Amino acid sequence: MTIAASAAFATTPAAVITATTPAPPTCVPLDARLVGAAGAANHLGVVFVTFANDAQADFALNWHAHLAALELASSALVGATDATTEHTLIRAGVRCFPLRSSLGRGEAKWGSDGFSHMGRTKAKLLRTLLELHATVLFADIDVVFLRDPLPYVGRQLAAGAHLLFHTDGFGSSDAAKLTQPEGLEEPSFGLTPELNTGLFLATPNASGLARAWCEALDADGAFSNWKNDQQSLNGLVRRGLRMPPPPANGRSTSASASKLMAAFDGTLRLGLLPNHLFPFGHVFFLQRALRNASAPLAVHLTFQNCDQSGKRHRMREAGVWIVDPPSYYEPEGGILSYEPDLPAELTDGRFAPLERNMRLEDPLVQAHFRLINHQLLQVRTALALAQILNRTLVLPRLLCGVETVTNFAHKGVRCVGSNGCGMALPYWCPADHVLRMHYLRGVMPQTPKLPVRYREFSLLANAAARREALRKQSHPQHQPTHPLPQQEQLAAAASRLLEELPSHEPSSTLLVHVKGSPARQCDGCVPSTPDTYVAARPLQPTPRSLGARADHRHELGADAIDEADFIAALRPYRHLRHVHFDSLRPDGLRVRLAPKTLAPFEETIRYLGGGFCCVEAAKRGGFGHFWYDLLWDQPHTDRWGRQFTVDRPYTPIPGP
C-alpha cells in the first residue's frame, strides 16, 4: 500500500514521501486481477496507465509521485519494458507490470526506431487493457497530474463519453473556460488540431478502435515519411465523424453531452479536453493568457527542445519535478547566482509578431539577437565564476524576444492565427530555448571539456516548497488519536528527509556587490500575469530576495581582476552555501581566467548555445535557423569552424 503526502501547493505538489509494504520480487503480470484492483481503488473504476524504459525511469517515478500526492497511486499501473526499469519501480513501491516491447533501453527520440516502437507498444497496451474491461486514463510518462482529474472525468462519463482526448490546440474557447469545471471543449473550436495520443481516456467500448489502431501501425509504411502513431489514430477516430446534433424537440442536454461527437464510423462518443485544464507544453510553459484561469488538471510536456534533458529542466523550472533527493538542493561546494541585467533599451516596446514570416534583417529579429546575446555574456561570466569557485550555477530566468520553434519560418510567435493563441512578446523562456540542455547533461556527441554544474532558476523556491511539504507531513495539523503504523512511518520518513534538506537562509548567504554596475530590472517589461508558471504557486524565495537579506557582504569593483586574486578575495566565504552577485553586467566585473582554465572553458561553452528557428531563408532551400554563440563578442572560431576576427566580427549567420 502507498500512503501519499499532501501537497505544499494545490497545483504543484512539492514532495512525496511514501510508506510501502514489501514489494514483490518482480512486477506483476498484467491481467484482470491487477487491472481490477487498480480500478476498484476509485469510485469510477478508472485505471491510470503509462509505461517506461530505463531512459525514462525517473520520469515514471515523477509521474507516479504526483498521483501519490493526489492519493491516486492505488489506481495507477506502470509498465516496465526492461528489467532495469522493473527493479527501479519495485524499489520505489510503484505498482508495475512487465511489458514486452522492442522499445529498447535508450531515449526514444522523435522519428527514431524507438519512437515507432513506443507507438506500437502503446496501441497494443491499450488493446489489452480494454479487452480486460478497463476504463483507461492513459498518460505518457512526461505527463504531470497537478489536480485530481476524476471529478472532471466522472462528469464526462456520466454524460456518455467513450473517448476523451487532449489536443495540440493552443488554447481554450471562452465557452469552455466559462463552463469549467464540467465543460468539454466546443467541437467547432477544438477539433482542428490533432488529438494527442499522450493523454486520453478510453472506455471498453473503444476496444474495436484499439484493435484497428494496432492493425494500422503494423502495416508497411505506418511510420514512413515522419508519420507516427498519433496520425494513424486520428485517421481512425475522425473516420465518419459527426458533430453533435441539436437537442431534440428543444430539450436541453448537459453541457458535456451536447459537445460529444460521433467518432470512428459513429460507434463512439468523443469529447475534447479543454486546453486550459489539460494544456500541452506551449500553453503551460510559454503562454500567459491562461494562467489566471482555473489551475490545470494535467500538463503534457510536448513542444519543447533538447529531448528528455530539456523536459527535466522545464519541469524543475516549474516546480513539478518532485523526485530529486535532498542533496540536489545542496550541491557540493555550494551555489552561485546573479541578478540579470535587462535594460529598457533591450526590452521595452520592441517585440510584436509580424504580419509575415520573419527575415534576418527585420528589426524584430535583430532586437531579439541583441537581447539574447546580452544575456549570454552574463551566463558566460557566471559559468566562469562558478567554475573557479567550485560552485554550482543557478541559471537565471531568461527573456526571449521572439519564439523559437522546431523547423519552420514564422512571424515571431508560432501560434499566430490559431484558435486560443495567447502568446505575447517578449516572454520568459525556458532554458532549452537558449541553451543546449542535453549538452549540459552530457548525452550529446560533443561533451564538455569541463564539468558544468547547474540548477534551475527556481531552485530556492523549489527547496522551500519541499521543506514546507515535509514539515506538514512530519507534523500533521490533524493528528489522529491512534495513528496507523503507516501514518507513523510516513511522518518519521518526512522528519528524516526534512533534516537532510538544506535551508537557504540569510545566515548562509553572501551578497557580492559590484560597484558602479547595477543590474537593471525587467520587472514590468513582460506582458504577463503575476507569475512565471502556475499563478497559484509563488516563486519565493528568489536569489534576489535572499541576497537582499544576506548576513554576509563583500564589495568588488566593476573592472578586471585576475582569477587568483578573485579566488583569494572570496576565500573567506567558501563555507557559505550561497554566493549571490547583484550584477554581472558585461561592462562590469570581469575575471581574467588563467590560461590553464581559459582554454578548456572556452571549448566547453563553444557548444553550449542552443538553436533559434526560424526566419525566412534568403533563397529557396537555404537555412533559416541559427546557433547562439557564447563567444560572440570576441575573435574566435565557432563550433562549425567559422572564424570571426576584429576585422570580421560576429554577426548571426544562418545554419548549418
Domains of the chain: 32-300 (3.90.550.10), 307-644 (no CATH)
Query: For the chain, what is the radius of gyration of the CA atoms?
Result: 26
305, pLDDT greater than 90 = no
The pLDDT, as a whole number, for residue 543 is 87
**Per-residue pLDDT averaged across 461-482, rounded?**
70
- Angle separating helix axes 485-500 and 459-474, nearest 10 degrees: 150
Q: What pLDDT is stored for residue 328 in this prediction?
A: 94
User: Is pLDDT at 371 greater than 90 in this prediction?
Assistant: yes
Q: What is the DSSP annotation of 281-309?
A: HIIIII--TTTTSSPPSEEE--S-SSHHH
Peptide bond into 426 cis (omega under 30): yes
Residue 104's pLDDT is 74
Phi, psi of 511 (to 5 degrees): -100, 120
What is the rounded distance in angstroms from the CA atom of residue 355 to the CA atom of residue 347? 21
**Of 149, 190, 416, which is closest to residue 297 (Cα–Cα)?**
149
pLDDT band at 4 (very low <50, low <70, confident <90, very high): very low
Round to whole Å and give the CA distance between 337 and 322.
22
At 485 the pLDDT is: 55
Q: What is the pLDDT of residues 284-295, one digit of tens each?
A: 888 854 444 468
Convert 526-582 into a string of H (helix), E (strand) and C (coil).
Answer: CCCCCCCCCCCCCCCCCHHHHHHCCCEEEEECCCEEEHHHHHHHHHHHCCCCEEEEC
Torsional sign, CA 48, 147, 255, 168: negative
514-557 tens-digit pLDDT: 999 999 988 777 765 433 334 334 467 888 888 889 999 999 99
Write the pLDDT tens digit of every residue in 205-244.
999 999 999 999 988 777 777 678 889 999 999 999 998 8
Answer with the residue of higher pLDDT: 256 or 183: 183
SS (H, E, C) 424-488: CCCEEECHHHCECHHHHHCCCCCCCCCCCCEECCCHHHHHHHHHHHHHHHHCCCCCCCCCCHHHH
Per-residue DSSP letter, 266: T
Integer Cα distance of 191 and 186 in angstroms: 8
pLDDT of residue 107: 67
DSSP strand pairing (163-167 vs 268-272)? parallel
* Whole-number pLDDT of residue 488: 64
Check whether 19 has a pLDDT greater than 80.
no
- Residue pair 406/613 in contact by the 8 Å Cβ criterion: yes
Q: Reply yes or no on whether the pLDDT at 487 is more than 60.
A: no
**For position 25, what pLDDT does the model report?**
65
- pLDDT score at 248: 57
Q: Does residue 161 surpass a pLDDT of 70?
A: yes
pLDDT at 112: 67
The number of residues making up the chain comes to: 656
230-234, 420-424, 604-608: least confident range = 420-424
Highest mean pLDDT among 199-203, 416-420, 464-468: 199-203
- What is the arithmetic mean of pLDDT over 176-198? 88
What pLDDT, on a 0 to 100 scale, did the predictor assign at position 287? 83
Across the chain, mean pLDDT equals: 87
Of the CA atoms within 13 Å of residue 571, those in its CB half-sphere come to 7
Range with top average pLDDT, 179-193, 409-423, 518-532: 409-423
How many angstroms separate the Cα of 275 from the Cα of each of 284, 314, 387, 590?
A: 9, 19, 42, 46
Grid cell locating 54: 530505463
Write down the pTM of the prediction: 0.91
Which of 50-54, 113-117, 256-260 is most confident?
50-54
The lowest-confidence range among 23-27, 138-142, 556-560 is: 23-27
Across residues 290-312, what is the average pLDDT?
81
Residue 532 has what pLDDT?
Answer: 37
> Which contiguous run of DSSP H or E holds residue 272?
strand 268-272
For 171-205, b/e burial (b = at least 16 CB within 10 A) is bbbebbbebeeebbbbbebbbebbbbbbbbbbbeb
> Can you say whether residue 307 is alpha, beta or left, with left for phi > 0 and alpha for psi between -120 and 50 degrees?
left
For position 78, what pLDDT does the model report?
A: 97
Return d(Cα 71, Cα 62) in angstroms, integer: 14
Q: H or E segment at 32?
A: helix 32-39
Rounded mean pLDDT, 364-372: 97
Least confidently predicted of 65-79, 358-372, 395-409, 455-469: 455-469
pLDDT at 529: 45
The rounded distance, in Å, linking the Cα atoms of 313 and 162 is: 35
What pLDDT is recorded for position 356?
A: 96
pLDDT over 90 at 390, yes or no = yes
Query: Which 8-state DSSP code applies to residue 75?
Result: G
| Secondary structure class of 605 (helix, strand, coil) | helix
